């Protein structure tokens, strides 16, 4: 493929106090991809998102956003870059002491470039996009899990991001609500031509959302391709993960650990 990637994780290595988590990640995210990153819990998926946001720096290798080297940007350039990326955190991460309007307005106010009247209009517009019109005055505690997730999606849309990152968007939601959120992710990213990365370990969700998939295992991307290629993969690890099989390389490792 000759298209220029929006994000390129180039041979990224990351260790936390000597313990390796990512061992040479090579991954390109192309414009308009809805890239689902699959992998076991504790495998380093959230860590990859934090590297893209520049919250973490790699031990070796580099992260590029277009022509920018994310891990070498100054504080002010990094803040500018982050304002172009919408992040939807696992469990929504709304500020409990602020109502919906103020939760949404916060990033725009911090950049300090927009008058309040314009921010109000934006809040209204983004809430409408996620089906939450008229909830400006509500506190997060007054909302259900699914509604909080919608509000956190609206918050991520506030700065009209070029890239959206979703960390386990259906975590803590029932299956019906989680399909509703999946549909919303698909509709929003299509309507706004936004590129997105969705981290999940839920296969139903993954196959609904993905235009492309990448599987993280033992610190590396072991497969990267279309959903169809994942469904028919011959790789034993990918197969076990996709089918949710009890037997396979992933659980052999576990029983080895239990026996030693
Ligand atoms: N800031 C940190 N300091 C030390 N260890 C961390 C830190 N963040 C994550 N880890 C460790 O890195 C590994 C990967 O974590 P994470 O990226 O959260 O996994 P995932 O999102 O795939 O469940 C885990 O073993 C976790 O304990
Ligand atoms: Mg995680």
With the most atoms of ligand 1 within 8 angstroms of its CB, the residue from 40, 44, 241 to mutate is 44
Q: Is the pLDDT of residue 260 over 80?
A: no
Ligand 1 closest atom vs CA 45: 22
Which tokens sit at 196?
């997105």
- Would the CB of 86 count as within 6 Å of ligand 1? no
Give the neighbor-by-neighbor strand order of the sheet with 19-29: 19-29, 7-16, 60-65, 68-69
CA-closest candidate to residue 46, choices 205, 171, 209: 171
pTM (two decimals): 0.93
- Residue pair 39/222 in contact by the 8 Å Cβ criterion: no
Instruction: Summarize pLDDT for 17-34 with one digit per residue, the tens.
Output: 989 999 999 999 999 999
Q: What is the set of domains in the chain, with CATH numbers?
A: 1-77+201-260 (3.40.50.300)
For residue 89, the ligand closest to its alpha carbon is 2
So what's the pLDDT on residue 259?
58
Distance CA 256, CA 253 (A): 5
If you measure from the C-alpha of residue 46 to the centroid of ligand 2, how many angstroms do you get, rounded to a whole number?
Answer: 4
Q: Quick one: pLDDT band at residue 252, thresholds 50, 70, 90?
A: confident
Distance CA 170, CA 91 (A): 9
If you measure from the C-alpha of residue 69 to the centroid of ligand 2, how many angstroms do you get, rounded to a whole number?
Answer: 24
């Amino acid at each position: 493929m000759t298209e220029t990637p929006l994000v390129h994780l180039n041979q990224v290595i990351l260790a936390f106090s000597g313990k390796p988590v990512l061992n040479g990640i090579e991954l390109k995210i192309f414009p308009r991809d809805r890239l689902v990153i699959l992998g076991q819990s504790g495998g380093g998926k959230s860590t990859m998102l934090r590297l893209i946001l520049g919250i973490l720096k790699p031990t070796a290798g580099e992260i590029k956003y277009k022509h920018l080297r994310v891990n070498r940007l100054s504080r002010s350039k990094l803040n500018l870059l982050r304002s172009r990326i919408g992040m939807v955190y696992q469990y929504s991460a709304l500020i409990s002491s602020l109502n919906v309007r103020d939760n949404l307005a916060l990033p725009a106010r911090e950049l300090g470039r927009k008058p309040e009247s314009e921010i109000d209009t934006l809040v209204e517009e983004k809430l409408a996009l996620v089906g939450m019109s008229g909830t400006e005055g509500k506190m997060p505690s007054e909302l259900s899990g699914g509604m909080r997730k919608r509000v956190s999606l609206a918050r991520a849309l506030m700065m009209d991001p070029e890239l959206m990152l979703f960390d386990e968007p259906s975590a803590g939601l029932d299956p019906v609500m989680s399909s509703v959120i999946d549909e919303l992710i698909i509709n929003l990213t299509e309507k706004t031509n936004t590129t997105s990365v969705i981290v999940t370990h839920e296969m139903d969700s993954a196959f609904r959302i993905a235009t492309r998939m990448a599987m993280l295992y033992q610190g590396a991307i072991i497969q990267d391709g279309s959903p169809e290629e994942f469904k028919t993969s011959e790789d034993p690890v990918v197969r076990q993960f996709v089918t949710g099989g009890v037997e396979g390389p992933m659980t052999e490792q576990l029983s080895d650990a239990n026996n030693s």
